[in-house]
Amino acid sequence: MKQVLRAAGLLGALAVVAVVTTGVPAAPVLAHAVIAPQTAPRTAPVPTTVTEPPPPAPRLATEVEQAVREVVDGAELGLVVFDRGTGAVLTELNPDQRFHSASVVKLLIALDVLDDAGEDLDQRTHDRLHDMIAASDDGIASAFWVAQGGPELVTRVAERLGLRDTQPPADPGQWGDTLLTAQDVVAVYRHVLDDADARDRELLLTALAGADRIAADGFDQYFGIPDALSGAHWAVKQGWMRSRSEVALHTTGLVGADQRYVIALLTSLPAATSWTRAADAVTAGVGALTAALPKAL
């Protein structure tokens, strides 16, 4: 009890001292200290860096065009190189210009057959599709073309994949006259890689990567991508046809171990152009891309 009184007296004395010294009444003493909540100091927001994919390189496309025309004057080109690593077009030239597809349309034929077959794809159809792509077999392509309704299959696949500029041939019996653009061809390959059923993807990629050097009709398919990028992993569908008005020669496919680059180089050359010269021109065009595809080589 005496200790309590001493404490009370001490507190009173301190209060008197505070009043005399400062002239301000002392704050009451609380049993528990109340600590005001502390607010974390505000910091400036960390800026978010958004990496935009690089724009297409027009100079590179011009170099491809020059390389082709140095071999065959008067050549017309459609080019798109898509980089799956950046998700952007690396370079392009006349991406929406239409060309006669020649055998590149076999990609559309295969996709339509696979879509119809679904889970019921039999081994014989599987093997025929492989040969149609790897050996570019025209007989198999013609049989599928008729069975799938000819021009109707082009319309179906174009609508399903969103191919804006692809058109069926004017003559229903001429599948090689289907009209394609470089950007639509790239869209087909991207569909195979990103959206197709895993079984269908494996079939098509195996056939594309296993393209025979000599096609079923005796044509040497190793021009363009296979010749110019011989040290790279590639999977290709080539196209060739001759008419009274032109020689059409196309090299299209995937380049790189991880299929990083999708390339479509479509060409229309003067009708008098020899096959050897045409192949040299397309190979020279792809060769102009070499320095820009370091991850593929």
Share of the chain above pLDDT 70, in %: 80
Does a structural domain hold residue 26? no
Tens digits of residue pLDDT in 157-167:
999 999 999 99
Q: Which residues pair with 252 in a beta bridge?
A: 237, 264
For CA atoms 152, 157, 160, 163, the dihedral sign is negative
The answer to whether residue 12 sits within a structural domain is no
Which 3 state secondary structure label does DSSP give 263?
Answer: strand
For residue 215, give the CATH number of its domain: 3.40.710.10
pLDDT digits (tens, 9 = 90+) for 18-34: 333 344 444 444 333 44
Number of domains in the chain: 1
Taking the model in full, what pTM does it have? 0.81
In which order are the strands placed within the sheet that holds 247-255?
88-93, 76-83, 261-269, 247-255, 234-242
| Residue 40 maps to a domain | no
What does the block give as tokens for 158?
Answer: 């174009």
For residue 260, the enclosing domain spans 58-296
* Residue 30 falls inside a structural domain: no
Q: Does residue 19 sit within a domain? A: no
pLDDT in tens, 50-69: 456 566 767 999 999 999 99
Q: Quick check: is 1 in a domain? A: no
Domain annotation covers residue 232: yes
**32/285 Cα distance (integer angstroms):** 84
Whether 77 and 265 have beta carbons less than 8 Å apart is answered as: yes
Residue 140 in any domain: the answer is yes
Query: Confidence band (pLDDT; 50, 70, 90) for 9?
Result: very low
